[in-house]
Amino acid sequence: MSRVDLSPLQISEIQKLISGKVSTNQSVLEQHSHDESAFPPVIPSAVVPVISTQEVSNVLAYCNLHKIPVVAFGAGTSLEGHVVPLHGGISLDLTGMNKILEVSPDDLLVRVEAGVTRMALNTKLANDGIFFSVDPGADATLGGMAATGAAGTTTVRYGSMRENVMALTAVLADGTVIHTGRGTRKLSAGYDLTRLIVGSEGTLAIITELTLRVFGIPEKMAAAVVRFPTLNDGVAAATAIVRSGIAIARCEFLDAQCIRNLNSHEKMGMLEAPTLFFEFHGSPQGVIEDAQSVKEIVSEFAGSAFEWTSDEGERRKLWQARHNAHWAALAAHPGMRGVSTDMAVPMSQLSVAVSMAQEILESHRFPFSILGHVADGNFHCSIITDPSKPSERDEIREIVHAMTMKIIAMGGTCTGEHGIGAGKIDELVVETGAEAVSVMRSIKKTLDPHWILNPGKIFVA
């Protein structure tokens, strides 16, 4: 598929379909040319800001007719080249669709437009004593989070986007508007189109509205930090905690390099050793009991004293630091970019998987750190590369591919939460098999026959 550039006539015709201003300004094009990955940027032909489902429908119907590629753009924080317009066309900017449409505390539901960010939503929900739980490190849009099937530090307790998106309004490639799902806890009505669109990375439909499940803010929250002599001890402790069934709200692993980066970036003074961060949610008594049980388990794995806090400021600072781990790694290597792996394995394989990744990375020259949502069996290696040396990126790609093949052989997945994007197209075939990928392609062809929606992602166009 070759690159598509819009003619001045096409730009002026699209301009008539929306109330905002189509942009071909170089800095706006550049802003929409990349995500947070190390993928080389590609500029779109134009950036089209939309503010309603109707405008999205108008633009898609036009682009479908003229076979113009459309790449949805939320906050641009994805990590596999997702928003890079590989084949030109338009970047459809959804950040103007930022209204919180309905808050229903009694139903524990909210309805939002796709461009609302998770932090803006939680600021609003705090007034009602409720919160939206999915928290990728970045302040992503809820449309982007649904499109990537995002997860985060609290997934072990509250689930990922796949569990928390109840219903959607979405626009198909030809401009048809569909509504999927209901605000009910149970649903058995036909094919599950909500979960087909969640995780489809903007290749099947553009999400314009989402109904999301929310939770009551727990009566008590407390955090704890424990250090371990080795990376393996920490991971094995996390595995044992999960197996015990204790209701942890968060359990995050950071290797000594991550802690070193955070100490410098966040001005913290943590001991530079493999570390687990925990959080507990519940009644005051329940939190104490859960923490006590975890404390007993970590001591069996040579864990340090349990550094515990229920002070709100301290707790927030700890998790802010965890969410800043990616930026801290980059700050430790000015001018560099990070390649983030996203492997996940069944819990019983976690310790072997993390040790395998560490050994492989230690045998190469690239600086790296390892962290992960270990209670979900999901971990990330952040590998540092010099963007001015494209050969490094190819070398890292091969290293990551080798690790991923081993992970798949263990029964794991190439991506627990970031998605396939342009980066894991080959790995998807190995993981699911050519037959399953062929079914995915048939679905894509049915919903998007001209292949205009985010071409070059998930499959080669």
Ligand X SMILES: Cc1cc2nc3c(=O)[nH]c(=O)nc-3n(C[C@H](O)[C@H](O)[C@H](O)COP(=O)(O)OP(=O)(O)OC[C@H]3O[C@@H](n4cnc5c(N)ncnc54)[C@H](O)[C@@H]3O)c2cc1C
CB of 356 vs ligand X, minimal distance in Å: 22
CB of 9 vs ligand X, minimal distance in Å: 26
Residue 137 to residue 140: CA distance in whole angstroms:
8
Angle of helix 284-300 relative to helix 231-244, nearest 10 degrees? 130
For ligand X, the closer of residues 117 and 275 by Cβ is 117
CB of 26 vs ligand X, minimal distance in Å: 20
Structure tokens at 346: 């069944």
- Please list, in sequence order, all residues whose beta carbon lies within 8 angstroms of the beta carbon of residue 176, skipping any fewer than 6 positions away: 57
The radius of gyration of the chain's CA atoms, rounded to the nearest angstrom, is 22
CB of 65 vs ligand X, minimal distance in Å: 20
For ligand X, the closer of residues 295 and 323 by Cβ is 323
For ligand X, the closer of residues 103 and 331 by Cβ is 331
Residue ranges that bind ligand X, judged by CB under 6 A: 35-36, 71-79, 82-83, 94, 114, 136-138, 140-141, 143-145, 147-148, 150-152, 201-202, 206-207, 326, 417-418, 454, 457
Closest CA to 170 of 160, 180, 161: 180
CB of 363 vs ligand X, minimal distance in Å: 26
- Cα–Cα distances (Å) from 322 to 75, 252, 262, 329, 330, in that order, read 20, 8, 8, 11, 14
Q: Do 40 and 389 contact (CB within 8 A), yes or no? A: no
Q: Which residue is nearest to ligand X (CB)?
A: 144
Residue 364 to residue 345: CA distance in whole angstroms:
23
CB of 371 vs ligand X, minimal distance in Å: 10
For ligand X, the closer of residues 62 and 73 by Cβ is 73
For ligand X, the closer of residues 253 and 301 by Cβ is 253
Helices then strands, each counted (H, E), the chain: 17, 18
Residue 9 to residue 118: CA distance in whole angstroms:
37
CB of 407 vs ligand X, minimal distance in Å: 17
For ligand X, the closer of residues 111 and 418 by Cβ is 418
For ligand X, the closer of residues 50 and 297 by Cβ is 50
Going by their DSSP bridges, the two strands 205-213 and 109-113 should be labelled as: antiparallel
What are the percentages of helix, strand and coil residues in the chain, rounded to 5?
Answer: 40, 20, 40
Phi, psi torsion values for 50, nearest 5 degrees: -125, 150
CB of 98 vs ligand X, minimal distance in Å: 12
For ligand X, the closer of residues 23 and 77 by Cβ is 77
The DSSP 8-state label assigned to residue 375 in this structure reads G
